[in-house]
Structure formats: C-alpha cells, structure tokens
Structure 1
Amino acid sequence: MRRFYALALLAAALLVLGSCERQPRLVILHTNDTHSHFEPIRSGADAGKGGAIERAAFIDSVRNAVGEDKVLLLHAGDFSQGTSYFSELGGQLEPRVINDMRYDCVTLGNHEFDNGIEDLAGRLARLEGTKVVSANIDVSQFELGKYVQPYAIIEKAGLRIGVIGLETNLSANVSATISSRIPQMDNVEVTNKWASYLHDSEKCDLIILLSHIGYDEDQKLVPQTRHIDLVIGGHSHTFVDGFVYVEDLDGRKVPIITDGCFGLDMGEVRFY
C-alpha cells in the first residue's frame, strides 16, 4: 500500500534523498480518489488490496512511530461516489471515515458535488476539525461557503504549512444544473495569489498545492507559478512510482505526486 519518498526541508527548498534512518521532521500521508472504497477490492489483479481498515491501520502505525504532531494527513479529492456505500447511504459514511482517520485537510473533487451543492454542505458540516480547501471555485453565496476556504494553515512539528486547494473544471465533469451555479477562477491566478500570500504574509515554511485537476494538468500548471514546494494531485487516477519534477517560474524544481485511486496506495513523503 505505501509509496515512500524522502525529501529534505532546507530553507523551503526540496531535495531528493535516499532512505534515511534518522527521525523525520515531518511526514505527509496522502490519498486521492478513494471513491467510497471502504472495503478491499474484491476481484481482479488488485483483489484484497486497499480498504479503509488497512489505510487506518497504516496511518496509526506512522503516527505511533514518529509522533502525531509530525504527521500531516491530506486527501486530494473525490472521497465520494463509486460504491454502493455512497449510493445507498447518501454520502453519510464518508465524513465519518474522514473524522475517524483524522484527516487534517481535504480538497474537493468533482464527485463531491454528485448529490448537489446543498447536500455537500450538509456532509461537510459533519467534519470535525478537517479543513476543506478549494481556491478556484466561489461557493460563498451558498451554505457550502461556510465550510470551504481557498487555503488552510496547519501547524505541525513547529512548522507553518500552507495548503491550497484546486478543483477540476466543473463544467466538464459535473451536471450543468450544478456547475452553472458555481463561478470558477483561473488556476494559475488563484494559485499564485494564495501562494504569494502564504509565502510573503503568513511566512509559511512549506506550501502544498492539494490539487484535483489531474496529473498532466499539474505539470502544466507548475511552470506558471512560484512558491509551491510540493504538489499532491488527484482526479486522473494516475499510478506513479516516484516524483516528477517540474521547474517553476523561479527555476525551482517542484515535486509532483499522486496516488492512483480507490485507496490502493497511500503516499508517504518524509521531510528531514
């Protein structure tokens, strides 16, 4: 299940390292596109893999090993839809699982909107301490706006960590009766706006883009941005082995990672 990568955190610069024996300063665990897969896959090549119990056990094992204050747990969207757990229970189980696993921050995927804007607001209202970020959609006119912010600042292990969320193109992925009600902003503009704010005004030590625009789109976005230290992506269900590095506007090599789908993998990024 685990995909492990080690990075060095030095003056907001990220450098690849080999396997490290010493204790990490920070561990980021991340998932995306779990799509209500609470049980292991039942058939095919991936039979027996995944499942909420296995994910929770792995998360707990890392927290116990390094200390809970050193672990940041993120989800890059589409935690909804895909099994009868969602269709039969109306999406009521997903917030409970997010709470039980103690996710620090999630972004929204297109499938979060499958049951409508108002329904999503009701489900997000049940989250307990998990921050929800999406910078490129404007839902301030709805009840949903109470639960969704463009960014979050999370303190872990003495670090100020900024997390910016991006949603995919809703007009291409969600019913027009829903997407037509939600203004959507330019990905480059909002990323640079909030990354600059988190870097210059909030003095964040680390800035993460929690993206649901797809692996290829992440790679197109980074060269037009600055101040992003790590991209954790979703939407495209892409399985990768390791980071891809893309240079930003300042020539910094920004690592991009994503974790396939259905909870088959959980990414683990360690900072030293």
Structure 2
Amino acid sequence: MKRRQFLQSTAATGALLSLGGLSLSFAERKTKQITILHTNDVHSHIEAFGPDHNRNPGMGGVARRATLIEQIRRENPNTLLLDAGDIFQGTPFFNFYGGELEFKLMSRLKYDAATIGNHDFDNGIEGLYAQLPHADFEFISSNYDFTNTIMDGHVLPHKVFTKDGIKIGVFGLGIELQGLVNAHLYKETKYLDPIEIATDMARILKEEKKCDLVICLSHLGYDYRSNKISDVKLAQATKDIDLIIGGHTHTFLEKPEIQTNAAGKQVLINQVGCYGLYLGRIDFFMDSEKNVSANGVSITV
C-alpha cells in the first residue's frame, strides 16, 4: 500500500481522533509519530485465500502482509507490530507443524509482541512451550498466572518499548479459559480478573514507568450482549489505557472505535477481523507538550 493510498483511506474514514484535547494544530508544533500495526486471530493462515474463494478471493497471506509492513516501516521507522492472540489453529499448517511455522514467520516479519489466545493452548501448554524457541518476539499476558506450569517465567506481564523518545507500555489480557478450553490443556494456569489486572497494569505503566502511551493487547472479545467482560467494558471501567487492540470475536472495525473511560477521557479500540485478511494501522502524533492525537484505518491485505 502506497502512502498516498493510506492517506486517502484515512481521510475517507474521518478517523482523526483527539486524546486529551489539542489547542494548536500540529503544524505549529514539532510532532513525533508512532505507528502501531496489529493483527489478531490469524489462525495459522499462512497462504492467501485462492482466487475462487467464495468470501475472501485472493485476500490475506503472510507474504502480502510482509510487503505492507515493510512499506510502512520505510515510511515511519518508529513502528511497533503487535498481535492479539489466536495465532494457532485453523489450517493444516498447524496440524502438521504444531505452531513452528507461525512463530518463525512472525519472527521474520519482526513482530514486537503478542498476547496469548485460547486457541494457542490447542496443543496443550506443553505444545505452546515447545514452540517458544521459534519466536523472536515477546509474549505478554498479565492476567494468566502461569505459576506451577511449564510457561512460568516465559511470559511478561508488561513491556515498555521506546520509539523516538516516546515510551510505549504494552500489557496483555486473555479470556477466561474454563469452559472454553479443556482443563488438561492449560493445566494449572490461573485466570485473574481482567479489570483489576488492567487497572493495575495501566497505573504501573503510566505512573511508575512514565509511559506516554499505554496499549492493551486483549483477547477478551469486542463486546457481548451479556455481562461478560469485553474490550468495550474494559475501556469504560478503567483509565490510563490509550489503545485496546482486540481479538477473539473476529470483529472487523474499519477504523478504531472511541469509548469514554472511567476518567472521562477517550480510549481507542480496534480489531481487524481474522485470518490475516486485514492489517490494523493506528498513527499516534505527540507534540512537544505531549498532547496526543491519532488516526487509524484497517488495510486490506
């Protein structure tokens, strides 16, 4: 995707969002740009869909995603690439290689971090652990307690990245596994309340780590008709989160949605469907007084 095309797509969505409010135009101040690229629920879709596919003809595929990511990184080197879980399960590639190919390709694409989805336990916690040597990126999960499991010590509760002097804190949340995944697959992994954990993680990253941006990689799901915790409920119940990158429900959003958090400020939520059909892009702009604005779009792969 060429830069001109991206700007046209962004203008069409009208997705310029103000976080915290701006009093002057960016042209009047020196600004820094941080680009967040993201995927979710790729489900082992390595190759593009065939030209005769009834729903997604010719779409997706790691090769096309790699080309897009490389073009965007050339445009803005201050880019993070993140995934919101369910990397595994969905094609024979997973059945045959057990996740090795997925992690190797993500490493070649230079993903910075991913969180863990429920299907990432489909070969058991031992199967997930066995593939970790093939992942040259961090796994971040804040509300899965892996004490007394083989994954203990191999997953971070949060991580801080620095791009162009801007500190970006990332934490991760997973969906409740009980009733969704067979207990023998996740063993003694404990699920912790995502609202409580998110509140604590966001506070640590914003106040203690002095992060300029806080991102939640969520595999909770976008929204539900029930009281089940979702990205929308998470955004409304917490503060200090700037962006929630979602997964699990395969929800496609053309642009980030805006929710109001517990402190009355705006928080963005985005999710880009499934199977690697789309690449999410969100650009944050920060001026010299650390006022923040953002725009976002979902790019067809």
Aligned counterpart, 1:257:
270
Match of 2:233 among 209, 217, 220: 220
Question: How far apart are the structure 2 equivalents of 1:14 and 1:150?
Answer: 30
Question: How far apart are the structure 2 equivalents of 1:208 and 1:251?
Answer: 18
Is residue 46 of structure 1 aligned with residue 53 of structure 2? no
Aligned counterpart, 2:68:
58
Is residue 135 of structure 1 aligned with residue 148 of structure 2? no
- The answer to which of 240-249 and 29-38 deviates more is 240-249
Question: How far apart are the structure 2 equivalents of 1:203 and 1:268?
Answer: 24
Aligned counterpart, 2:299:
none
Compute the displacement of 1:171 (Å).
1.0
- The answer to which of 204-213 and 170-179 deviates more is 170-179
Which protein shows a greater Rg?
A: 2
Question: How far apart are the structure 1 equivalents of 2:21 and 2:117?
Answer: 27
Match of 1:165 among 168, 172, 175: 172
Compute the displacement of 1:179 (Å).
4.0
Compute the displacement of 1:240 (Å).
1.4
Question: How far apart are the structure 1 equivalents of 2:69 and 2:187?
Answer: 38
Aligned counterpart, 2:282:
269
2:191 alignment partner, SS class:
coil
Question: How far apart are the structure 1 equivalents of 2:182 and 2:32?
Answer: 44
Question: How far apart are the structure 1 equivalents of 2:267 and 2:65?
Answer: 27
Question: How far apart are the structure 1 equivalents of 2:46 and 2:75?
Answer: 25
Question: How far apart are the structure 2 equivalents of 1:8 and 1:223?
Answer: 17
Map 1:62-211; keep pairs closer than 5 Å.
Answer: 62-67=72-77, 70-128=78-136, 130-179=137-186, 181-211=188-218
Question: How far apart are the structure 2 equivalents of 1:213 and 1:190?
Answer: 13
- The answer to which of 39-48 and 107-116 deviates more is 39-48
Residue 165 of structure 1 aligns with an amino acid whose one-letter code is G
Question: How far apart are the structure 2 equivalents of 1:109 and 1:34?
Answer: 11
Residue 60 of structure 1 aligns with an amino acid whose one-letter code is E
TM-score of the pair, normalised by structure 1: 0.90
Output the aligned Cα RMSD: 2.2
Compute the displacement of 1:14 (Å).
7.4
Residues 184/23 of structure 1: CA separation in 2 closer, same or farther (3 Å cut): same
1:70-119 CA deviation, whole Å, 9 max, x = no partner?
A: 11100010111100000011211111011100001100111111001112
Compute the displacement of 1:160 (Å).
0.9
Structure 2 unaligned residues grouped into runs of 5+: 224-229, 286-301
TM-score of the pair, normalised by structure 2: 0.82
Compute the displacement of 1:23 (Å).
8.7
Residue 250 of structure 1 aligns with an amino acid whose one-letter code is A
Structure 1 residue ranges, 4+ long, deviating more than 3 angstroms after superposition: 1-10
Say how many residue pairs are matched.
Answer: 262
